[in-house]
A and B are shown apart, each in its own frame.
Chain A
Amino acid sequence: MNDRTNFVLRLLYHDMVAFVARWILGGVFVYQGLSKAVHPVDFLKILREYHIVESHIVLNLIAAALPWFEILCGSLLLSGIAVRGSALLLIGMLVPFTIGVLSRAMAIQAANPIPFCAIRFDCGCGAGEVIVCHKLLENSFLILLSLLLLIGRGRRWCLQYDFVKSA
């Protein structure tokens, strides 16, 4: 490995980097979760436009539970509890969200003669109307941060880094 690779690896495993990643991710998810939790009906309506489920019970369950679930995962990251488990769950949420946003943007573009990056809509992400390209970039960044927490160290300044002590 050359010096540059070593530097990048040392940086990725640096406690402060993991700390900042944890707080960015935690903060974003708590904020977005709260925005949705206080207006669950708005979130339900947006979720419906994604055409993801047939059953109204499943749709209601997702709209009712997801915002609180995000708040919990965000809070765990902020406090440094079960960091890798929470990061894994965030990846599990972010990847389908991003695919959903991309699919919807492509459907909008197919129906309207506008450039892809001019498409704006409320993706139900908790931040109101967004430019789709910005949202895709933001989600990619959040996925990278989650991966960093999943594989990195960063145990300092955590209340309980490993919630499950041994398998």
Chain B
Amino acid sequence: MGRELKRVLLEALVVAAVGLAVALLANLVSPRGLSLTRNYFPSGSTHGKTDGSANSNVTAVVTATNWGGQLARESVAARLKEKGLQPIDFGEAMELFRDPQYAVDLIVFIDARDDRHYAEGHIPGAYQFDRYYPEKHLPAVLPVCLSATKIVVYCTGGDCEDSEFAALTLKDAGAPLERIVVYAGGMTEWAAKGLPVETGERKSGAMRGAKP
């Protein structure tokens, strides 16, 4: 029995060692691999949001009581202000979107979501900045942000934190913080209001979802 146990433990140890080596190698060669040393959640701890009202999955259940949504919005606004970021609501986002300066990139919209979500639909003309892969997006996005007078960053909305982290990454890269605002309602609210959504690449011209 003792010998058997020892053998199983030794086997588990060998598998664990091989597994760790394989895992690190696979992460290294994968184009989507993570950098082990980069702090992906700056200006905050590695701890995520609390499991309270801000949890979107729970919100689906509690909105029936008209309690989760309001609390979630307040929680997001407080979190943004804590990080020195300025939240804007749907009305303000719309105003900026309709401003003539948007057409000449003096106002820019930044979509902080990944490739798949961006391609599925983004605010027309928005630049993509998936902050988890800044080396891929910053060269195109940063010059635009540096010359813009207003930078509107958004992600999915709800409890999504990518917009605020993207805003902080842009700030660290040199974009003036006072010009950055976060549209907390995000893509979910935008699409729900029936506003035009561009699919595919930026300026692809492919639109969906606009209410007459």
Contact = CB atoms under 8 A, between A and B. Distances in A.
A40 B40 CA distance: 12
Contacts of B34: 40-41, 44, 60, 63-64
Interface string A13-32: 00000000000000000000
A159 interface: no
Given A38-B32, A112-B62, A129 B57 contact: yes
A48 B48 contact: yes
Interface stretch (B12-20, B89-97, B119-127, B172-180): B12-20
Nearest to A107: B51
Interface string A51-62: 101111101110
A57 B114 CA distance: 22
Given A40-B32, A49-B51, A65 B20 contact: yes
A54 B65 CA distance: 35
Interface string B9-46: 11111111011101110110010111111111100011
* Band of interface residues on B: 35 or more
Given A60-B40, A69-B20, A120-B57, A167 B10 contact: yes
* Band of interface residues on A: 35 or more
B3 interface: yes
B36 A60 contact: yes
B38 A60 contact: yes
B60 interface: yes
A144 interface: no
A86 B14 CA distance: 10
Interface of B: 3, 6-16, 18-20, 22-24, 26-27, 30, 32-41, 45-53, 55, 57-58, 60-62, 65, 68, 114, 132, 161
24 contacts: A48-B46, A48-B47, A49-B48, A49-B51, A54-B46, A56-B39, A56-B40, A56-B46, A57-B36, A59-B46, A60-B37, A60-B38, A65-B24, A69-B19, A72-B23, A84-B8, A85-B10, A86-B12, A86-B15, A88-B9, A108-B55, A108-B58, A111-B58, A120-B57
